[in-house]
Structure 1
C-alpha cells in the first residue's frame, strides 16, 4: 500500500484538495479503468469529464491517447489537475506518443463549450450532490451529438459498501443542521438510471466495480475521508475535533493488525446515450 506524501495535518481548501489527490482519489482507479476498457477509450476518443477533481481520471484517459477536457467548481482541485496534466508529457506519455492538449474549465461547462465536441462524457465523482450534477446533465443532453456516450457513477448498495457504515457518522453529526445538511449520491438500484432518464438520456448498460478504500494508517484514513467533503456539514454542526474523534472511532473495526485500514466497497456505473 503506497504511503501518503505527507502525514502532517492540512487545513483549508488547498490542503484538502491535496489530501484528495494524494490519498482518496486513487481509490476510484478501478472504476475509471473498468469504464475506459468497456468504452475502448483510445486516441480516437474526445472526452469531457464533469467534476474532474484533481485530474487523475483525465490523466488515465490521456494515457490512452484521448483528447480530454475537465470541468470542476473546486479551484484548488482544478489547479492540481492542471499541474498533473502539464507535467504528464514529460513523465507519463508512452514512448513514441505525443500528448494531446488538455483543457480545464472552472465550474460547469460554459455556454461556449458544447457537449457536441465530445463522444464520451463522464460524471465519475460519487459524492457530487445530485442537485449540482443534474443541470450539467441537462445541458449535455441538449447539446451532445446523437449517440454520444454519457457515464454516471455512484455508490453501490449500502450492504456492499463498508464505507457507508462509516459515513453514517457524518449523517448523525449533521442532524442539528436539518435533514438536508448531509447528502450522498443516490445508490439505489435504479437511481442512476432515473437520473439519466430525467436528463433525457437513454440508459444502455451498467456495471459494478470493486473499489476498496485502503489507507496506511488511521490518520491517513481520516484525512482521506474528510477530503471528500462529506463531513463538512458535520463539522459545521459540531466542530472539527469532534468529527475527527468520532470518525476515528468509526474506522476502528476496519483497522488491521498491521495498522492499515481497509474497507471493501462496490461502485455502480450506468452507460447512457444521447
Structure 2
C-alpha cells in the first residue's frame, strides 16, 4: 500500500472521526453548527424539499439540517459517527430516524430516500460514501454536498493554519486529501463517477457571530480538526494562536464575525 493510500484511508475511520467531532458536542451544537444555515436553505430549494420528501442527512452532526427539514414537513433521517452529537440530534428531532454509524455502510435499504444531503460531511477521498448514498437514493433522486471553498471570505484559513502548526505532522497529509474537494471540478467528478448527473454548483457566505473571545474559542475549538492540535500541544498555546488569527474578525463593538466561502454541488441519481 502506498503512502498516498495510507493518507486517504486514515481520516475515514468512522469511529476515529466520531471521537474527534464529538469531543465538544454541546459547544458544536450551540455555538458552531449554524454556520451552515445559508447553504442548507439554498440546498433545500434546489432539491425541492417538502412534505413529500424523504430526506437523509449523511454526517448529520447534532441535527440542525434535520430540524429544518422536519419544519418543511419532510420525513427525515440521519447518520453520524459521533455518539455525543447523535444524542443531541435525537433530542432535537424526536420523530426522525437517526443512526450512529458509518457513511460508508448506511443502514437503510436501497431506494429509501428521494433527497440525500451531506453538509460538510463528504470530503476528498470519500468517493465510496457517494456510491453508498446513491444506493439508498431513489432513481431520479437528488443529492447535495457542501464543503469549504477556496474563495473569499476565508476566515477559517488562519484558524486552521494555527491548528496545523500545533498538530502532529502526519495529520497534515490527511487534511490536504480531505480539502482537495475545494479544487475546481473535483466534487463534480466525484459525483459523476459515483453515478450522478451534476446540475448545479453554488455558494453562499457562511456567517457566524460570537459576542466575545471566549465564546469564539469555544466554538472554533469544537470542530474535529482542532483535536489533533489540542491533544498534541498545550491547549492554552493553541488557544492563543487561534485567537490571534481571529483578531481580524473582531469588529469595533467586540463581536467576532466569522465569514467563509461555503460551496455546494447538487446532482441527480441517473439510475
Unpaired segments ≥5 residues, structure 2 = 1-19
How does the TM-score come out when normalised to structure 1? 0.82
2:74 is equivalent to residue 66 of structure 1: yes
1:191 corresponds in structure 2 to 186
What count of residue pairs does the alignment treat as equivalent?
247
Structure 1 residue ranges, 4+ long, deviating more than 6 angstroms after superposition: 12-15
Once the two structures are TM-superposed, the CA of residue 164 in structure 1 deviates from its matched residue by 1.9
**Structure with greater proportional strand content:** 2
TM-score, normalization: structure 2? 0.83
Structure 1 residues 236 and 180, CA, compared in 2 at 3 Å: closer, same or farther?
A: farther
Q: Structure 1's 239 and 129: CA in aligned 2 closer, same or farther, altered over 3 A? A: farther
- Whether the 8 Å CA contact 1:181–1:233 is kept in 2: the answer is no
1:104 corresponds in structure 2 to: 98
Indicate how the Cα distance of structure 1 residues 15 and 231 shifts in structure 2: closer, same or farther if over 3 A, else same. Answer: closer
Q: For 1:84-233, list aligned pairs within 5 A.
A: 84-86=92-94, 101-108=95-102, 110=105, 112-125=107-120, 129-131=123-125, 133-174=126-167, 176-177=169-170, 179-180=172-173, 182-183=175-176, 184-185=178-179, 186-233=181-228
1:42 and 2:50 matched: yes
Q: 1:178 to 1:63 in 2, by over 3 A?
A: closer
RMSD of the TM alignment (CA)?
2.2
Aligned equivalents of 1:149 and 1:44: distance in 2?
Answer: 14
C-alpha separation in 1, matches of 2:174 and 2:231: 10
CA shift in 2, pair 1:71/1:251, >3 Å:
same
Q: 1:29 aligns with which of 17, 30, 37?
A: 37
CA distance in 2, matches of 1:30, 1:124: 11
